[in-house]
Structure 1
Amino acid sequence: MQDSTTRPWAWAGNQHAVMWCVTFTHGITPEEVLARYGADTRAARLLTGQQAGHLNDSNLPQGSVLRAGSLGVWSFCFEDHGVMGAMSGPLSALSQGTETFSVLRGGDGMNGFAHWRDGRCTEQFEPGFTYTRPDPPHPWWDAVQERLDASNEEYPGLAPVLEAVAHHTGAVLDTGTLRGPLLTLRLEDSSRTPDPQPRPRPRTSQPPGRLLGRLLPPGTPSPPAVRRAPNSPTTPHTYDIEAES
């Protein structure tokens, strides 16, 4: 029987955890992971989970404690009481030239899964809720749903979602690793990688409006009317000007 500290995903079933977020990114180092979140890696220190808990100070500006490590060719970043790893800015940066998975346990009861590749989101949904299923093809929705169905539990939590990610990555973040020393720092919200700006919509060409004549002061006589002279040739723009009586 496995010890509770090494059993895969035991931490994800902690009923006392209010909110957490974890990302998995292929082929970059933990230092680069933190940098892509927007952090200055010179501030990072190796801290255990217990030591990192002291960085969650309510008197400090709004921010998140990031804890990064490696699992083979994949690197992860875990936030306790943070959601930066579910935001488009960090995810876009993390996935540049590679791919990134994000799993969120939201403090408001809403959870999230996202897969990003080369700076773009390929799939995003709330696990277990059919109405959030993305347009096909949706291979990650299928993989996650298969694991949720196989759990045979009414409320299986997010462990099956993490198992679906691990089936693809081979990266299992167990409780012992998460409690041990990881590269840790605190990143303020104002310093994180900003979300990408929406692309401006192309302007639709419009026909020019009706040209208006020069405005005349009140009481100014109307200009003479333009009339075609009788028996004039049909060459365009040949006119005779007669004054109005």
Structure 2
Amino acid sequence: MIATPGGHAWFSYERFPELAEAYCFTYVRGLAPEQLVARLGGRPEGFTPMTLEQLIEAAYRQGYDKAFPGVTAIGDWAFVVEPNGGLGADERIITSLSAGTRLVSHFRDVEGVEFFYWSEDGEIRFWFLADEGYAEEVPDEIAPAMRRFGAGYRDLCPSDGPAFLLAEHLTGITLTPELLEGSTYLCGVIPEAE
């Protein structure tokens, strides 16, 4: 069951100040965290387990010019959290990571630019950009979810609900604050993304 856009009001500046300001969440089906790190060009043995709080602090210490993701497993999905990062908003990376599988990501930067992507086997199936709307054609798989946003969905920012709802629809994962805060993330720098 898909929640309403307001059901994700917990993802706010009050509860997650550093993360809500600039984040990227990426889901990749069928990969373990170590496999995802390797696909990104990282060395899993050089990554460290961290809490969400530690990940946020370490990512901001790295600065803006280094990719510092945290990856955890949720069922058979690898879930990537990037405080102030954007690997999941880079179409070259998205298509590469989705080879042979499904990838769903949503991103917001400090300027308020927001993206949503769904990619299958190296091909972007759907994208959504705040203020510009969505890809030319809405695939049948997500048309019912898009209709739930109503006539004004083109004016919604993805992080106001659509991104979370579409990710839930395409992955079966309901992202909650408890899931974000209670997970342990495999964390480190991705050299090629610097």
Question: TM-score under structure 1 normalisation?
Answer: 0.63
In structure 2, the CA distance between the partners of 1:92 and 1:59, relative to structure 1 (3 Å rule), is closer
Larger mean Cα displacement after TM superposition, 169-178 or 131-140: 131-140
Instruction: Report how far residue 114 of structure 1 moved.
Output: 0.9
Tell me the distance in 2 between the aligned counterparts of 1:59 and 1:29.
Answer: 24
Tell me the distance in 1 between the aligned counterparts of 2:64 and 2:12.
Answer: 29
> Which residue in 1 is equivalent to 2:3?
none
User: Are residue 185 (structure 1) and residue 184 (structure 2) matched?
Assistant: no
Answer whether contact 2:60 2:83 (CA < 8 A) is retained. Answer: no
Tell me the distance in 1 between the aligned counterparts of 2:176 and 2:25.
Answer: 12
Answer whether contact 1:151 1:160 (CA < 8 A) is retained. Answer: no
Instruction: Report how far residue 28 of structure 1 moved.
Output: 1.3
Instruction: Report how far residue 137 of structure 1 moved.
Output: 4.7
- Find the residue that maps to 1:56 and give its secondary structure: helix
> Which residue in 2 is equivalent to 1:149?
150
Q: Which amino acid aligns with 1:90?
A: I
In structure 2, the CA distance between the partners of 1:108 and 1:168, relative to structure 1 (3 Å rule), is same
Could you list the runs of 4 or more consecutive aligned residues of structure 1 that deviate by over 4 angstroms after TM superposition? Answer: 8-11, 57-61
> After superposition, what is the alpha-carbon deviation per residue over 1:133-186, rounded to whole angstroms, capped at 9, x for unaligned?
32225447745533433999x867433321222123211222122123423323
> Which residue in 2 is equivalent to 1:75?
78
> Which residue in 1 is equivalent to 2:135?
134
- Find the residue that maps to 1:65 and give its secondary structure: coil
Residue of 44, 49, 52 corresponding to 2:47: 44
> After superposition, what is the alpha-carbon deviation per residue over 1:20-77, rounded to whole angstroms, capped at 9, x for unaligned?
0011111111111222222111112211112223313556682122111122122210
Answer whether contact 1:147 1:161 (CA < 8 A) is retained. Answer: no
Answer whether contact 2:115 2:129 (CA < 8 A) is retained. Answer: yes
> After superposition, what is the alpha-carbon deviation per residue over 1:96-121, rounded to whole angstroms, capped at 9, x for unaligned?
10110111112211211111111121
The CA RMSD measured in Å over matched residues stands at 3.0
What is the percentage of aligned positions where both structures have the same residue? 22
Q: Counting helix residues as a fraction of each chain, which structure ranks higher? A: 2
Alignment of 1:1-245 (within 5 A): 9=8, 12-14=11-13, 16=17, 17-58=20-61, 62-127=65-130, 129=131, 131-139=132-140, 142-143=143-144, 145-149=146-150, 157-188=159-190, 190-192=191-193
Q: 5+ residue gaps in structure 1?
A: 1-7, 194-245
In structure 2, the CA distance between the partners of 1:82 and 1:141, relative to structure 1 (3 Å rule), is same
Return the structure number with greater relative CO, CA threshold 8 A, min gap 6: 2
- Find the residue that maps to 1:173 and give its secondary structure: coil
Q: Which amino acid aligns with 2:71?
A: A
Larger mean Cα displacement after TM superposition, 27-36 or 52-61: 52-61
Tell me the distance in 2 between the aligned counterparts of 1:58 and 1:74.
Answer: 28
Tell me the distance in 2 between the aligned counterparts of 1:38 and 1:76.
Answer: 17
Tell me the distance in 1 between the aligned counterparts of 2:88 and 2:127.
Answer: 13
